[in-house]
A = this chain, B = another copy of it.
Amino acid sequence: MSADLSTVLLVDRHRGTLDQALEAVRTRAFWSPHPEHPKAYPDPDAGRAAFEALAGRRFALDQPGTDGWTGDERSPFGVELGVHYPHPDPDVLLPAMRAAMPVWRAAGPEARALVCLEIIARINERTHEFAHAVMHTSGQAFTMAFQAGGPHAQDRAVEAVTYAYIEQVRTPESAEWTKPQGKRDPIGLRKTFTAVPRGIGLVIGCNTFPTWNGYPGLFASLATGNAVLVKPHPRAVLPLALTVEIAREVLAEAGYPRDLVCLAVDHPGEGLAKTLALRPEIRLIDYTGSTAFGDWLEANARQAQVFTEKAGVNTVVIDSTGDYRGMLANLAFSLSLYSGQMCTTPQNLLIPRDGIATDQGDKTFDEVVADLAAAVDHLLGDDARANALLGALVNPDVKSRLDAAPGIGDVALASRAVTHPDFPDAVVRTPAIVKLDGAKTDDDSPYLSECFGPVSFAVAVDSTAGALELLRRTIRDKGAMTVAGYTTSAQVEQELEEVCFEECAQLSLNLTGGVYVNQTAAFSDFHGSGGNPAANSALCDGAFVANRFRVVEVRRPA
């Protein structure tokens, strides 16, 4: 291969990272190959300039089957991006992608992993540029866009590559099989085992976390030998377009067809994701978004393996605490971060109506809610800090839900508009907390539906046992990406665990410091459980990668 990126070079650059990642997912101790502090990345101005230079331009990718240009992203901070992307003709693009696959399959698991790690490393080098792209598509504040959209997303990408690699190499490339035949000569066979791809993977991106939620599926499919077509959310194209551009560049430098990774951006209202999802060439789909479309994909894209992360209702059970201030501060942060626009943000705070025991004495239901409201106020009292945490509302639907919140119940904390000094058009809002009575829960109870955005419900329950029952029902019927609990009782802790084991949800207990229920760390934490209605897969485990390829055995007489 006369490629610029030889395998020797790639091994030298990335095999060590792969080995460390293999060890990290085995021990699940803290590890990351990507520093998360912006200062660790040189030349922020160049990153900003690179981002700004993209505005109003055609984002040319030289893909086959481009039949026009499209795109009308507008930043939640009010900036018009005006980038135009190639619009695909699937009848030309998909066959070209399929044609690119045999040489990628033949490269084998290690070469594919190393090429993927090179792509991720190139992305990492441009983290400042990505941070602006993520900020101005998702509405995340800069620091969060930098971290969650940059190193944390890159971590999840490396994690997916690592799992894909493990899964493919657990079967050896070849084996000698010798079966004794008593006194006769043994029978011998020579066997080879080859990981073969499923086809083309379709990644359907989301508006809020284009890279963090998009990378695991993209890299899991690519590392297992598939081609990958990236269909971003129409309002969050740019970070994934940059990703596709870098992937194509690295593939070409390493001697592989760049059409292994392509971009598909649709015309407004075209519904390209639906069309693509049903194409016979598409054999894998990774989707993050609404339950309605996720369910549609699972029901209709029968020719594909479909990995979905949909809506859920996240619960916090508050039974008691030995660190009342810590609990309030921790929850206040969780409710505020990115204006609650995370699939992992707590929505329902279940609190016994008779109050809870704390290290600050017993607190009534109303006191707990008022103190939490005060903690949020305290956290967001300064506009600069509020802007740094909240970011902007990502779309008008979120604002509508927030505006409607006071009609649902007693407002314990009213949302407040915050002005952004740099972006006057940004819709920045602090979270609202609404008090509700959980005594008469029925299917129409507002807290039994996802209210995506900065609205949470403080639900008065009869007892902790009642909270656990409501938790169980919520997970079972609505799904949950996260569950949190606060208790000083070993008994309650065990009961909480039991509910989460039985209903299959990830549980965080007594978080009072600098770790928040809405954050998960790659290589250690699972994002979602894959076992309740919120998501049919978890990031990242064996099940996330094992069916993205198959093993073909060829056997011959030895």
**B residues in contact with A189, CB < 8 Å:** 515
Residue A41 is within 8 A (CB to CB) of chain B in the complex: no
Evaluate contact between A178 and B525: CB separation under 8 angstroms: no
- A524 on interface, CB distance cutoff 8 Å: yes
Docked complex Cα distance between A551 and B29 (Å): 17
Within 8 Å of chain B (Cβ to Cβ): is A193? yes
A265 to B280, CA, bound (A): 38
Interface positions, chain A 488-503, Cβ under 8 Å from B, are 497-498, 500-502
Q: Is the CB of B531 within 8 A of A541?
A: no
Q: In angstroms, how far is the closest chain B Cβ from the Cβ of A326?
A: 9
Say whether B187 contacts A515, CB under 8 Å.
Answer: yes
Give Cα A1 to B378, complex, Å. 53
Q: Is the CB of B554 within 8 A of A521?
A: no
Taking CB atoms, residues of chain B closer than 8 Å to A501 are 102, 105, 194, 196, 552
Please give me the residue from chain B that is nearest to A106 by CB atom: B501
Whether B524 contacts A191 by the Cβ 8 Å rule is yes
Q: Give the distance to chain B from A242, nearest Cβ to Cβ, in Å.
A: 28
CB neighbors of B among A509-552 (8 A)? 509-515, 521, 524-526, 529-531, 538, 541-543, 546-547, 550-552
Interface mask (A6-26 → B, CB under 8 Å = 1, otherwise 0): 000000000000000000001
In the assembled complex, which residues on chain B have CB atoms less than 8 Å from the CB atom of A105?
501
A556 within 8 Å of B (CB atoms)? yes
Which of the candidate stretches A56-64, A166-174, A232-240 sits at the interface with the other chain?
Answer: A166-174
Chain A interface main SS type: mixed
Give 23 CB contacts A-B under 8 Å: A26-B170, A28-B171, A28-B172, A30-B177, A102-B498, A102-B502, A171-B541, A177-B524, A191-B525, A500-B554, A501-B552, A504-B552, A505-B552, A506-B553, A507-B555, A508-B554, A510-B556, A510-B557, A512-B557, A515-B555, A529-B550, A529-B552, A542-B542
CA distance A164 to B500 in the complex (A): 22
Does A440 sit within 8 A of B, measured CB to CB?
Answer: no
Give CA–CA (A538, B476) in the complex, Å.
Answer: 31
Residues of B within 8 A of A515 (CB): 187, 189, 555, 557
Set of chain B residues within 8 Å of A513, measured between Cβ atoms? 187, 557
* A175 contacts B by Cβ under 8 Å: yes
Q: B28 touching A557 by the CB < 8 A rule? A: no
Contact call A538/B557, Cβ cutoff below 8 A: no
Question: A500 vs B102: C-alpha distance in the bound complex, in angstroms?
Answer: 12
How close is A494's CB to chain B, nearest CB, in angstroms? Answer: 10
Question: Is A198 at the interface (CB under 8 A from chain B)?
Answer: yes
Bound Cα distance from A175 to B23, whole angstroms: 13
Mark each residue of chain A from 159 to 202: 1 if its CB lies under 8 Å from any CB of chain B, else 0.
00000001100111001111111000001010101101010000
Task: Pick the 4 closest A-B CB pairs, nearest first.
Answer: A531-B550, A543-B546, A28-B175, A542-B546
Nearest chain B CB to A474's CB is how many angstroms away? 16
Bound Cα distance from A277 to B302, whole angstroms: 18
- Cα–Cα distance between A504 and B551 once the two chains are bound (Å): 8
**Contact assessment for A187 and B514 in the assembled complex, using a CB-CB cutoff below 8 Å:** yes
A538: B residues at CB distance < 8 A? 550-551
Chain B residues contacting A28 (CB-CB under 8 Å) are 171-172, 175, 177, 191, 193
| A249 adjacent to chain B (CB < 8 Å) | no
A542 neighbours in B (Cβ, 8 Å): 167, 170, 542, 546
A281 interface residue (CB < 8 Å to B): no
Partner of A302, one of B181, B298, B556: B298
A225-247: which have CB < 8 Å to B? none
Q: CB-CB < 8 A to A441: which residues of B?
A: none
Of the candidates A179, A187, A191, A510, the one having the most CB atoms from chain B within 10 angstroms of its own CB is A179
Given contacts A543-B547, A546-B541, contact A554 B187 (CB under 8 A): no
Contacts of A511 in B (CB 8 A): 557
In the complex the two chains form, what is the Cα distance from A512 to B498 in whole Å? 57
Nearest chain-B residue to A32 (Cβ)?
A: B179
A299 near B: Cβ within 8 Å?
Answer: yes
| Structural contact, B172 and A26, CB atoms closer than 8 A | yes
A445 contacts partner chain B, Cβ-Cβ < 8 Å: no
